[in-house]
Chains A and B, each alone.
Chain A
Amino acid sequence: MSISVATHPDRPRSGPPLWRRLHLNPPLVAGAVLLTVLLLSAIAAPLLATAGPMDIDLRAVRQAPSAAHWFGTDAVGRDLFSRVLYGGQVSLLVAGLGMMGSLSFGTLMGMLGAFGANWVRPIIDRAIDIQLAFPYVLLAIAITSAVKPSTPVLVLLMVLAAWAGAARVVRAIALQERGKDYVKAADVLGVSRLRIALLHVFPTVLPSLMVLAAMQMAAMIVFEATLSFLGMGVQPPTPSWGGIMLDGKNYITSSWWLTALPGLAIVLTSLSLVLIGDGLQARTDALRSREGDQ
């Protein structure tokens, strides 16, 4: 008997245009545009800056924003606009490294927490619990009292403080996926646990990981600012947003721009990242539910 029941499906269609296939939504676009502007202005700081970020001019200290100094000047007459631009380079780079480090380590731990050997999983669970229960500022104080604060130490602190959040999310998704039939089907076909984790389950974690990356980056911006403000982060005279705010804190009543304007940079960056995170989440949810409809 021949197999004549074959019904050949349509050939794959060329599909809608690219912008529609990307499934963009307003928060995602708004956040991406804002972040792009901020990133470009940090990268182009040498072109945009009206003065050197460390040029002291004692004849023009604590001047209010004006045409000559758009963001005003600080206590030793440095141009605040230039310092915020250059500070952005440092803050964004440090936060980016911290985000990538914590996300990589967190993802590794999360996958191990879902797919590791039976004795590995409870260890990782407990490590996540301990880390989440531990106040990160306390951790930062403990470490910077032992090691001299510097930028690499700051990045390390970020990884230590933030990996557990990522690990918990990745572990939860991976465990949920692990219970699904496709994992069992792969197991029956002889696919190894490592291969299932890497090739089958990890790709399904990726969309959530992108959401997490945006949220984590926002948290890292604030984390950098907090630690630098407390003197445990980027060390003066290198400008960073938190460090600039620390410099300005003594004049908060008389010279508002010294804290408010770098603060605004922090707020805008976090806002753009949160918007991107929300947009990505909405996009993932929309794509998932459509998948379920079929």
Chain B
Amino acid sequence: MTGVLEARDIVKTFAVTRDGKTSRVAAVNHVSLAVEPGEIVGLVGESGCGKTTISRIMIGIESADSGTVLYRGQPVVSRADWRALRREVQYVFQDPFTALCPTMRIGAALAEPLIIHRIGAPSERADRVAKMLEMVGLHPDVARRLPNQLSGGQRQRVNLARALMLEPRILICDEIVSGLDVSIQAQVLQLLIDLQEKLGLSLIFISHDLRVVRYLASRVLVMYGGEIVEQGASEAVFDDPQHAYTRTLLAAIPDHSRVPAPAHNLGA
């Protein structure tokens, strides 16, 4: 299987020192995953299972011990390769409170990617920022504010807007709704679905919340202990889980009957 963005056989270990002895713990153990154009891939698993690590490796924030990241079938190796990848792949961080520079106004933070990549005339950048803020459901006046004047949900939208400023083809979202209130969660998820349809984005959506993933993703990968233990179409995995861990996960959902129907069945 090949995709637009692909991680192939990634291994990442961290050194852990306990009682003076250093051992290496595999956070990601021979993991491969790929995302197709326009597809929403869900990556689920408990915290510490390596899902954040693999996603960070795919955007180059962390480096793999072995394995390759491929973009459009080409291995991403040099700094220039990563720069090219990041022009089209963007990343939204888990914690909306630390992912924005506290001293930079929202408008400046959103305009910055345009300035760096010399996109658009300086005069039209403010306009683009306002449009993007509206697209993620924020008032254009937010541009004049500082991050600490916004709520968590608003900040997460700003982060999303900032990642979208470069009009990426693929967006990696790391637990972006887990810190939000349930009502705001629903809004952000709806927003992601709308954006995906409108812009034809591919999404890698990472979450420990199965309901959220089921709502959003057409394909699901289940990670456990640094390995992918099960993957397949969303319905297949949720309706007929093969791996014991997936079954435990599903059984842990408080009320299984109230799991919302998958969104992609509603759409078309």
Complex alpha-carbon distance, A204 and B95, angstroms: 19
Which of B83, B101, B163, B267 contacts A204 (CB under 8 A)? B101
Selected interface stretch from B8-16, B24-32, B135-143: B135-143
B102 to chain A minimum Cβ distance, whole angstroms, is: 6
Among residues of B, the one whose C-beta sits closest to the C-beta of A205 is: B103
A187 contacts partner chain B, Cβ-Cβ < 8 Å: yes
Q: Shortest beta-carbon distance, B56 to chain A, in Å?
A: 8
Q: Is B191 an interface residue (CB 8 A)?
A: yes
A180 at interface, CB cutoff 8 A: yes
**Which residues of the partner chain A approach B101 to less than 8 Å between Cβ atoms?**
182, 186, 199-200, 203-204
A182-B98 in contact given A9-B142, A187-B61, A190-B86 (Cβ < 8 Å): yes
Query: What is the chain B residue whose CB lies nearest that of A201?
Result: B101
Is B145's CB within 8 Å of the partner chain A?
yes
* CB-contact partner of B141 in A12, A182, A187, A199, under 8 A: A12
With a cutoff of 8 Å between Cβ atoms, the chain B residues found around residue A5 in the complex are 137, 187, 190-191, 194
Report the interface size for chain B: residues with CB under 8 A from the other chain. Answer: 50
A22 within 8 A of B: no
State in angstroms the CA–CA spacing of A187 and B137 once bound together.
26
Chain B residues whose CB sits within 8 angstroms of the CB of A2 once the complex forms: 194
Q: Please name all residues of chain A whose beta carbon is closer than 8 Å to the beta carbon of B166 when the two chains form the complex.
A: 189-190
Interface hub of B59, B97, B103, B197 (most chain A Cβ within 10 A): B103
Report B-chain residues with C-beta under 8 Å of the C-beta of A200. 101, 103-104
- The chain A residue sitting closest to B137, CB to CB, is A6
Q: Mark A1-29, 1 if CB is under 8 A from B, else 0.
A: 11101111101100000000000000000
**Considering the chains assembled together, what is the distance between the CA atoms of A3 and B196 in angstroms?**
12
* B contact residues around A145 at 8 Å (CB): none
Tell me the smallest distance from the CB of A110 to a CB of chain B, in Å: 17
Closest 4 CB pairs of A and B: A6-B137, A203-B103, A8-B139, A181-B99
Residues on B facing A (Cβ under 8 Å) = 59-61, 83, 86-87, 90-91, 93-95, 97-104, 112-113, 116-117, 134-135, 137-139, 141-142, 144-145, 148-152, 154, 159, 162-163, 165-166, 187, 190-191, 193-194, 197, 267
